[in-house]
């Protein structure tokens, strides 16, 4: 009996409860965000160079 009720609720209730997938709309980047991204990228490259030089000495 429980299997029958589960099957009925799954077949009837599943499609009714589901809603269509809404794709997210990407937001445009501001000039400030691009500046901070560039600054962080440069800082990462400088840090990687510093670590490489430190490791190469040992």
Could you list the residue range(s) of the whole structural domain that residue 50 is in? 32-57
Q: Who contacts 16 (Cβ-Cβ below 8 Å, separation ≥6)?
A: none
Q: How buried is residue 8: exposed, middle or buried, by Cβ count under 10 Å (0-12/13-18/19+)?
A: exposed
Total number of domains in the chain: 1
Q: Note the pLDDT tens digit of each residue in 1-58.
A: 877 777 777 777 666 666 778 888 888 889 999 999 999 999 999 999 999 999 998 6
Does the pTM exceed 0.75?
no
- 47-58: pLDDT as tens digits: 999 999 999 986
Inside any domain, residue 51: yes
**pLDDT at res. 57:** 81
Answer yes or no: is 19 within a domain. Answer: no
Residues in the chain, how many? 58
Determine the pLDDT at residue 18: 65
CA distance 31 to 36: 9
- The confidence score (pLDDT) of residue 11 equals 73
| In-domain check, residue 18 | no
Q: Is residue 5 part of a domain?
A: no
């Amino acid at each position: 009996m429980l299997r029958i009720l589960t099957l009925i609720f799954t077949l009837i209730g599943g499609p009714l409860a589901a809603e269509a997938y809404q794709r997210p709309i990407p937001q445009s980047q501001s000039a400030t965000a691009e500046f901070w991204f560039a600054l962080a990228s440069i800082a990462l490259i400088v840090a990687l160079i510093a670590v490489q030089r430190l490791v190469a000495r040992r």
